[in-house]
């Protein structure tokens, strides 16, 4: 295994070199993110201050050799109220929501149990408005003006806010605030594919949640419903 200095920004690596990696299991993590249960959440501390969380399938490399694997890497960092994400990082906020013992909605998997396959809804290529509901009960309003226009995502269901000490990053979810979207994908087998499909997690490539961040990627629980909404100002 080699140090992925070519893949991750040097500043990120230099920063992590001065941290002490500490393994920590997030309560109910397997139930909340079942497809990530092969990885172990790692909390990085600096002088006893919890400042970063890394979740990855290859996280053992960081624990034992202080090397970062570029495969399936999730990285997020907060310090003094700031939030930054590496170029390939995922949104750490999903680790800070209340543990979900069971999905609020049944998860349908297209192609299984009589559920028909469906074409992805791709807001990056088609204009429209969609209300996307996930297994956790979260609802996201996706609005697009077309391929050459603007795409936004608004989480319209509120979660725990930052005033709850258990969820110090809750306010960074930007509930009820339209966030600029640069990409929407889902996982198809071993690859990523464009668009949203029922039965798969939705990946939203968002504007940075902090001015110092390069990118924020928010991954939801599996999508259970996609409702096409009328255009604003139309009657149906």
pLDDT greater than 70 at residue 111: no
Count of C-beta atoms within a 10 Å radius of residue 76: 26
d(CA 136, CA 134): 5
Q: Token pair for residue 41?
A: 């959440």
Among 33-47, 120-134, 165-179, 194-208, which stretch is predicted with the lowest mean pLDDT? 33-47
d(CA 49, CA 18): 13
d(CA 123, CA 143): 7
Nearest residue to 83 via CA among 45, 52, 44:
52
d(CA 194, CA 188): 9
d(CA 170, CA 167): 5
d(CA 80, CA 52): 12
Count of C-beta atoms within a 10 Å radius of residue 117: 10
- Quote the pLDDT of residue 5: 29
What integer best gives the mean pLDDT of the chain?
58
Comparison of pLDDT for 139 and 27, the residue scoring more? 139
Among 15-24, 28-37, 39-48, 123-132, which stretch is predicted with the lowest mean pLDDT? 28-37
Mean pLDDT of 230-234: 68
């Amino acid at each position: 295994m080699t140090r992925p200095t070519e893949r991750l920004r040097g500043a990120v690596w230099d920063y992590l070199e001065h941290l002490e990696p500490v393994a920590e299991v997030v309560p109910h993590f397997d139930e909340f993110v079942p497809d990530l249960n092969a990885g172990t959440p790692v909390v990085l501390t600096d002088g006893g201050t919890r400042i970063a969380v890394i979740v990855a399938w290859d996280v053992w490399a960081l624990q034992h050799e202080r090397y970062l694997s570029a495969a399936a890497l999730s990285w997020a960092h907060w310090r003094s109220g700031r939030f930054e994400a590496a170029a390939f990082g995922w949104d750490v906020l999903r680790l800070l929501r209340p543990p979900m013992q069971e999905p609020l909605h049944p998860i349908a998997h297209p192609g299984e149990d009589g559920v028909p396959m469906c074409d992805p809804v791709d807001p990056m290529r088609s204009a429209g408005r969609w209300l996307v509901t996930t297994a956790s009960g979260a609802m996201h309003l996706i609005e697009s003006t077309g391929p050459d226009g603007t795409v936004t995502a608004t989480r319209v269901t509120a979660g725990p806010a930052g005033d709850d000490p258990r969820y110090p990053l809750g306010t960074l979810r930007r509930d009820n605030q339209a966030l600029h979207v640069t990409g929407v994908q889902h996982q198809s087998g071993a690859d990523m594919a464009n668009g949203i499909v029922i039965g798969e997690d939705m990946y939203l490539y968002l504007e940075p949640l902090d001015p110092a961040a390069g990118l924020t990627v928010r991954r939801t629980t599996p999508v259970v419903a996609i409702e096409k909404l009328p255009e604003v100002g139309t009657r149906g």
